[in-house]
Amino acid sequence: MISNLHIQNIGIIDDISICLNNGFNVLTGETGAGKTLIIDSLSIIAGGRFSKEMIRKGCNHSFVEVCLYLPNHECAIDGNIIASREIFNNGRNLCKINGRMVTVNELKEFMQNIIDIHGQQDNQMILEAASHIQYLDDFSRRGII
């Protein structure tokens, strides 16, 4: 479960921390308030693509950090996992999981079973060819195919 999301310098977002509750959370607001930027930030921390144009004007980097409460996860420290991704104007990335530097691919692999974004045309897991065999295996075990 995501317990906290911290975003800096993405689009119109200067610096925001969002505390999420256990259960159902809803983002509401006027058009242009930044709801989509929050979803985009979740995609970024999940190892998704990032465009330099997303960096807030006048800033040289963007930063997304998420605190996950996963008490049974092998990487959890006191039940928590902290993942962060900092992206610079020159395209350089600095990704960390619990303070340890990792590559973007390692971050993506780590987060793929934690954050799954579904939108009108935005979907992560079903588009990953590597996960297709897992879908087929799951369906076959259930007797669906």
Q: What is the CATH number of the domain that holds 29?
A: 3.40.50.300
**What is the total count of domains within the chain?**
1
The partner residues of 96 in beta bridges, in order of sequence, read 84, 101
Per-residue pLDDT for the chain (145 aa), expressed as one digit of tens each? 899 999 999 999 999 999 998 888 888 889 988 888 999 999 999 999 888 889 999 999 999 999 999 999 999 999 999 999 999 999 899 999 999 999 999 999 999 888 877 666 545 566 677 778 887 887 787 765 5
Quote the domain boundaries for residue 63: 2-141
C-alpha 4/C-alpha 136 separation (Å) is 34
C-alpha 39/C-alpha 57 separation (Å) is 20
The whole-model pTM stands at: 0.77
